[in-house]
Amino acid sequence: MKLVVIGGDAAGMSAASQARKRLGADRLEIVAFERGHFTSYSACGIPYWIGGFVKEREALVARTPEQHRRAGIDVRLRHEVVGIDLDRREVVAHDLTGGGEVRESFDHLVYATGASPVTPEWARIPAAGIFGVQTLDDGAAIHDWLAREQPKKAVVIGGGYIGVEMAEAMVKRGLDVTLLEKSPEPMAKTVDPDVGALVRKAIGEEGIEVVTNAHVSGIETSGGKVREVVTPGGALAADIVVMGLGVRPNSALAAEAGIPVGVTGGVRTDRRMRAEGIEGVWAAGDCVETRHLLTGDPVHIPLGTHANKQGRVAGINIGGGYATFPGVIGTAVTKVCNLEVARTGLTEKEARRAGFAFVTATVESTSRAGYYPGAELMTIKLIAEKRTGTLLGAQIVGRTEAAKRIDALAVAVWNRMTVEEMTALDLSYAPPFAPVWDPVLIASRKATDAVHNAM
């Protein structure tokens, strides 16, 4: 039996490794095509490598092509798949280094092409110094540019995860940084505006100039290099521009082949990660559409956590086992300078769009006992369904030891707990780690009061 994998990062290689583990080299031949230079790497770690927190690029690579090959997976770097023929059960790839065309037949196909960065027309200009941050190759290009050109001014366009993380990386490299966000507050797709305002204030205090309601209209160049970013409020000098406007599923090749694509633009799969209605074709990672467990709606939430899980599920099923991916609740976390930001479940906007009536509760507490050295303030916001008190979502902003508390809240959302039930959670306590009433418990108590008052 032969498995062909399109995409050599988290989802694709997780699927290949699981299938190999279950069937062995004597029962399964695996060919994996990757258009870049790396396999199985942490794209989430790129900003921290560029910012100097991670010293070596190789630290981001979980498994090299050579390691995969020793495990019996035929990894072909710098090969871009350009066609899929479902009738002939065949893929066509271009050798980007040596030239020429390669054709490989398959019994099983894993489509794991990831996501593509959103790039407006005004950013598609032939100038050096303009970068996206999607692959490790992209990260390497930025790292090389910073070392070679020694830029002084950076403009980061987009205030989502990648934007704020890259803004921090540029500050750590000693650049003057301006972060442009078209919404009234940064991280507008991640947290509510009141929490976003806390983020804007905190990152501004770290030396990053944050400009909101900023609409970029163009990029000016000089001598083939970026010179400034143009907005209605004026032009901003820039020696390097980093695009952080989000991503969309890289599903065009699938759609051309007749593989179903959903309303979010991602490949539609069943719970076993099989492409909907197509035997032997699987999809996983940032290219797929999944289901939100609270709303039941199709969503596209590109995260490495999902990609690894989905790839594992696909590989188990290819190998003759049984596994499912139930869906997501949107749990995510990020850091910018000393600020931690996390969310799970639904924001107010998402809850309203899904038709929920809800109450909110926001509290400020400390990460440790107030008298213990190093205690820092954090803000927790909970969103609960009005009648039932079921926790619908949570957001956290804090300086230290704040963000990972989102995991307890994610478990509560996943298991449909009410905020009243959460007030009795048996959470750990010691002065170096938490106050006697953990911020999660304090927020749950306040949310419970809000639910009762709304009845």
Task: Tell me the average pLDDT across 326-354.
Answer: 95
Share of the chain above pLDDT 90, in %: 96
Beta strand 218-222 with 225-231: parallel, antiparallel or unpaired?
antiparallel
pLDDT digits (tens, 9 = 90+) for 16-28: 999 999 999 899 9
Q: Which amino acid is at 132?
A: G
Beta bridge partners of 85: 90
Per-residue pLDDT averaged across 124-128, rounded? 90
CB 285 within 8 A of CB 309: no
- Is residue 289 within 8 A of residue 250, CB to CB? The reply is no
- Predicted pLDDT at 142: 97
Residue 190 has what pLDDT?
94
Helices (H) and strands (E) in the chain, counts: 12, 25
Q: What is the pLDDT of residues 162-173, one digit of tens each?
A: 999 999 999 999
- According to DSSP H, which parts of 292-405 are helical? 304-318, 348-353
From the list 44, 235, 369, 417, the catalytic residue is 44
Alpha-carbon distance of 396 to 405, in angstroms, equals 8
**pLDDT value, residue 62:** 96
- Pair 45, 62: CB distance under 8 Å: no
Residue 455: the pLDDT is 83
Span 202-217, mean pLDDT? Answer: 93
Label residue 71 by pLDDT band (50, 70, 90): very high
Q: Parallel, antiparallel, or unpaired for β 90-95 and 101-105?
A: antiparallel
Q: How far is CA 291 from CA 269, 330, 394, 410, in A?
A: 10, 10, 19, 16
Residue 222 clears pLDDT 90, i.e. is over it: yes
| 8 A C-beta contact, residue 427 and residue 438 | yes
At 395, list the tokens.
Answer: 């957001």
- pLDDT bin (cut points 50, 70, 90) of residue 2 is very high
Give me the pLDDT at residue 397, please. 96
> What pLDDT, on the 0 to 100 scale, is given for residue 337?
84
The verdict on domain 119-243 having CATH code 1.20.1070.10 is no
**CA angle centred on 445, ends 429 and 400, rounded to 5°:** 45
By the 8 A CB rule, do 153 and 273 touch? no
pLDDT reported for residue 233: 87
Q: What's the confidence (pLDDT) of residue 155?
A: 98
Report the length, in residues, of the chain: 455
pLDDT digit string, tens, across residues 75-111: 999 999 999 999 999 999 999 999 999 999 999 999 9
Residues 6+ away with beta carbon under 8 Å from 296: none
Query: What is the pLDDT at residue 338?
Result: 85
Three-state DSSP state, 103: strand
How large a percentage of the chain has pLDDT more than 70?
A: 100
Kindly report, residue by residue over 371-420, the tens digit of the pLDDT.
999 999 999 999 999 999 999 999 999 988 899 999 999 999 999 999 99
Q: Do 379 and 191 contact (CB within 8 A), yes or no?
A: no
Q: How far is residue 16 CA from its own chain's centroid?
A: 22
Q: Per-residue confidence at 336, pLDDT binned at 50, 70, 90? A: confident
The hierarchical CATH code for the domain 338-453 is 3.50.50.60
Q: Quickly tell me which residue has 């769009």 as its tokens.
A: 353
pLDDT for 221: 94
CA distance 129 to 271: 42
Please, is 225 exposed, middle or buried when counting C-beta atoms within 10 Å of its C-beta (0-12, 13-18, 19+)?
middle
* Average pLDDT for the chain: 96
Domain pair 119-243 / 338-453, same fold: yes
Query: Is residue 42 a contact partner of residue 304, using CB atoms and an 8 Å limit?
Result: yes
> Is 126's pLDDT higher than 90?
no
Residue 319 has pLDDT above 90, yes or no: yes
Tell me the C-alpha distance between 14 and 20, whole Å. 10
Amino acid at 170: M
44 is catalytic: yes
| Right CATH for 2-116+247-318 from 3.30.365.10, 3.50.50.60, 3.40.640.10, 3.40.920.10 | 3.50.50.60
* Cα distance from N-terminal residue to C-terminal residue, the chain: 61
- Break the chain into its structural domains and give their ranges: 2-116+247-318, 119-243, 338-453
pTM value > 0.85: yes
Are residues 207 and 177 in contact, defined by beta-carbon separation less than 8 angstroms? yes
Closest CA to 294 of 331, 342, 347, 346: 346
**340 within 8 A of 396, measured Cβ to Cβ:** yes
CA 186/CA 180 separation, integer angstroms: 9
For the stretch 282-307, pLDDT in tens is: 999 999 999 999 999 999 999 999 99
CA nearest neighbour of 180 among 134, 204, 215, 132: 215
